[in-house]
Amino acid sequence: MTPQIAALVNGPKTREAVDAFMAANTFPIVSGSSCTFVWRGDAEAVHLKHWVFGLPSSQQLQRVEGTDVWHLTLQLPEGSRVEYKLEIVRNGHGEWIQDPLNQYRARDPFGANSVAHSTGYAVPSWVHPDPTAAKGHVDEIWIDSNTFGRRGFGLYIPARFRRSRTYPVLVVHDGHDYMRYASLTTILDNLIDRLEIADAIVVLTSSPDRLKEYADDERHAKFLTEELVPYVQRLLPISDAPQNRCLMGASFGAVASLSTAYRYPGVYGRLLLQSGSFAFTDIGDRNPRGPRFDPIVAMINRYRAEPTVVSEKVFVSVGMYESLIYENRSLVPVLMSTGMDVRYVEARDGHNWENWRDRLRDGLSWLLPGPFLHVYE
């Protein structure tokens, strides 16, 4: 029990004492490796709901007897970032809410979660808008695809773009979600301005049926390689050197990136794979993740049986608190065995957009480095 809760338990249970406790602390209470979640109010039960693989996903908060304060302490290793909600049970029904005592939120396509930062975690400075950084802009473009019909995509053009130059191209799966939930355009602006990543044209793709199209669907690989990238190349001065072509994605988007490079070896020299849904089986073809994963299992099993060079440099990141850690850890030595240059990063985080956001500097600066190493002013 944290000292603050202990003081409340052992002290007077007056309203004034509880008010003083609430006013004196910020929540959750983080001290060393312990993180204490607190909720105040009347309920039959309160549960912490989180997505940390390896811990029970629902844990009950205890009520401080004689008060309306509920608490639960978890041990969170240094540098952890945990997304969660609170379930408030009243009249037998549970309602999931964001933690009203915690200002930190992370948004995603399903809404928003509260976020607990353990000791040692700080939101990176480069994810916030920097007023001194030159800003790129995003255009929305349409392509009439033979494969998928009419499709929209975003096109990030870096600040100080000039037609006389040639640019690398970065194709981002779920690109609009990366913009909305992982601050992608702000990060591109900042890292380009700091010379940490190259000035790049960024293609932001989104799919209306990503669970199918991203799951090793040959149509998707064909669309990207034979239609979308050549189309962008007709619009803008992008390099056709593999070293200057990067595919990126998270979860199923990482699968789509690997699958496309696998189907078109030698075209994409850089891959950024975040929390890839790289499900596989060591025997048989049944996997516990459901039929959506069947084509992925078939692809990864095939690749594990006969690993080949699909790119030059591959950056893989994954959260330690997500179930896919096993699949990603297993893929890395397979990729390395081919001789590709592979860099692998684990973070104390989950399967979420802010984990992917926080790894972008590591990955992009390694795959598409800017001139920081060459500039001495």
Partner 1 sequence: VPAPRTIALLGPQGATPDVGAVVRELGIKGPIALVSAGYQERESDDAELVAALGVPAVNLTLHARGKHVFKHAPEFTAAYQARQQRLRHMQGFYRTRLDGTEDAARKISLRYVEPELLEQEEKVSVDQFRHMDNDHVERCQAVRAAFDRAWSPDNIEPLAKHRREVRELMATTDALVISGGHVASLLNRLQLFDVLGNVGAKPIIAWSAGAMVLTDRVVLFHDYPPYGSDIAQVLDAGFGLVPGFVVLPDARRRINLDAQAGIQRFARRMAPATCVAMDHGARLIFEDGAVRSARATRLTTTGEAERDWAGEPTRFSTPYLHGIHV
Binding site for partner 1 (CB under 8 A): 160, 164, 191, 194, 196, 241, 341, 343, 361-363, 365-366, 369, 371-377
Residue type for position 64: V
Residue type for position 50: H
Residue number with CB closer to partner 1 (115 or 248): 248
What residue has token string 């809410």?
Answer: 97
DSSP character at residue 61: P
Exposed/middle/buried for 110, CB within 10 Å: 0-12, 13-18, 19+?
A: exposed
Asked if 223 and 144 count as a contact pair (C-beta separation under 8 A), the reply is no
CA distance 73 to 48: 10
CA distance 40 to 43: 9
Helix 184-193 × helix 360-367 angle, to 10°: 50
Asked if 36 and 72 count as a contact pair (C-beta separation under 8 A), the reply is yes
CA distance 109 to 132: 30
Residue number with CB closer to partner 1 (84 or 126): 126
Residue number with CB closer to partner 1 (286 or 374): 374
Residue number with CB closer to partner 1 (192 or 297): 192
Residue number with CB closer to partner 1 (307 or 369): 369
Residue number with CB closer to partner 1 (73 or 244): 244
Least Cβ distance, residue 246 to partner 1 (angstroms): 14
Distance of CA 52 to the CA centre of its chain: 14
Residue number with CB closer to partner 1 (111 or 339): 339
Q: Quick check: helix, strand or coil at residue 108?
A: strand
Any idea what the Cα angle at residue 38 is, between residues 35 and 41, rounded to 5°? 175
Least Cβ distance, residue 368 to partner 1 (angstroms): 11
Residue type for position 45: A
Q: Which of 374, 257, 262, 251 is nearest to 324 (CA)?
A: 251
Residue number with CB closer to partner 1 (226 or 312): 312
Asked if 53 and 323 count as a contact pair (C-beta separation under 8 A), the reply is yes
CB atoms within 10 A of CB 44: 11
CA distance 333 to 270: 17
Residue number with CB closer to partner 1 (93 or 162): 162
Least Cβ distance, residue 343 to partner 1 (angstroms): 7
Q: Which of 51, 47, 44 is nearest to 59 (CA)?
A: 47
